[in-house]
């Protein structure tokens, strides 16, 4: 089943502390951004990529797309102050499609199988997001004291991709913008409309490159995959 993908790539990577957009950092000689783009370039079901970028980085990114043979990028709109704004600026430029995925450009290890499951679930239910079960015991803490131990069975750690019927996420973003609501992911905007969001079990390998340690995990995953 076909889909288009929005990749927010307009962050500054503060927590990585590299003094530049972390997406330009390399994992085994190739920029993180390119690793992520290649997943979608090679997925035959992906019919278009929308990349939110910092305007001053656009020329460099365009050069990289040519260098690495990435052909599916349909637009590189300017990102915004927050990730949600960056995603929205892509959505506003897209033509209407059936299914759209939003995926962090900083998660290069997503697989075609998980993407396909998300697209199918979004087609069937309207909204579906990737997540993994919490592994550790989870407790709620206030002022350094345990308040309660939360039932782990009901806890999931949420990732991207997050997949939606285009009309649903478009409306959810539109409403959020009008009332000035800022969510931590796209699903929150859809939840606010009272629409059910389904979960698709993902992989612990689908980590976001956030801090320096993640680069070590990232290179280990690439080596193990050969």
| Site of interaction with Mg ion (CB under 5 A) | 11
Among Mg ion, ligand CTP, none, the one that 106 touches (CB under a kind-dependent 5 to 8 A) is ligand CTP
- Closest distance of CB 224 from Mg ion, Å: 27
Q: Give CA 71 to chain center in angstroms.
A: 20
- Closest distance of CB 181 from Mg ion, Å: 18
* Nearer to Mg ion (CB atom), residue 64 or residue 105: 105
The H-assigned helical ranges of the chain are: 32-41, 58-67, 83-93, 112-125, 166-179, 186-192, 212-225
Cβ within 8 Å of residue 104, ≥6 positions away: 7, 8, 36, 160, 208
Among Mg ion, ligand CTP, none, the one that 121 touches (CB under a kind-dependent 5 to 8 A) is none
Task: Tell me phi and psi for residue 196, to 5 degrees.
Answer: -65, 140
- Closest distance of CB 186 from Mg ion, Å: 15
Among ligand CTP, Mg ion, none, the one that 163 touches (CB under a kind-dependent 5 to 8 A) is none
Using alpha carbons, select from 200, 179, 46, 204 the residue that is nearest to residue 127. 200
- Closest distance of CB 174 from ligand CTP, Å: 19
* Nearer to ligand CTP (CB atom), residue 94 or residue 98: 94
Radius of gyration of the chain (CA): 17
Among ligand CTP, Mg ion, none, the one that 13 touches (CB under a kind-dependent 5 to 8 A) is ligand CTP
* Nearer to Mg ion (CB atom), residue 11 or residue 126: 11
The SS3 call for residue 200 is strand
Cα–Cα distances in Å, from 73 out to 70, 92, 118, 142? Answer: 7, 15, 21, 46
- Closest distance of CB 41 from Mg ion, Å: 25
Cβ within 8 Å of residue 85, ≥6 positions away: 79
DSSP secondary structure code for residue 95 in this structure: P
Among ligand CTP, Mg ion, none, the one that 84 touches (CB under a kind-dependent 5 to 8 A) is none
- Closest distance of CB 185 from Mg ion, Å: 12
* Nearer to Mg ion (CB atom), residue 62 or residue 82: 82
Residues in contact with ligand CTP by the rule CB under 6 A: 8-15, 22-23, 52, 79-83, 86, 104-106, 208, 210
Among ligand CTP, Mg ion, none, the one that 14 touches (CB under a kind-dependent 5 to 8 A) is ligand CTP
């Amino acid at each position: 089943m076909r889909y288009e993908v929005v990749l927010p790539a307009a962050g500054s990577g503060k927590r990585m502390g590299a003094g530049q957009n972390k997406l330009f950092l390399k994992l085994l000689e190739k920029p993180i951004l390119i690793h992520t783009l290649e997943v979608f370039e090679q997925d035959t079901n992906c019919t278009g990529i929308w990349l939110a970028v910092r305007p001053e980085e656009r020329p460099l990114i365009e050069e990289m797309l040519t260098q690495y043979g990435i052909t599916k990028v349909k637009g590189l709109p300017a990102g915004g102050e927050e990730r949600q704004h960056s995603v929205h600026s892509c959505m506003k430029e897209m033509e209407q499609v059936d299914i759209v995925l939003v995926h962090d450009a900083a998660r290069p290890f997503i697989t075609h199988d998980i993407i396909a499951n998300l697209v199918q679930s979004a087609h069937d239910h309207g909204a579906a997001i990737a997540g993994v079960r919490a592994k550790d015991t989870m407790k709620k803490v206030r002022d350094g004291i345990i308040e309660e131990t939360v039932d782990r069975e009901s806890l999931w750690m949420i990732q991207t991709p997050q997949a939606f019927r285009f009309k649903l996420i478009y409306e959810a973003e539109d409403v959020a913008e009008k009332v000035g609501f800022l969510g931590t992911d796209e699903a929150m905007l859809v939840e606010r409309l009272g629409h059910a969001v389904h979960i698709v079990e993902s992989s612990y390998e689908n980590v976001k490159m956030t801090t320096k340690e993640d680069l070590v995990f990232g290179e280990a995953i690439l080596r193990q995959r050969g």
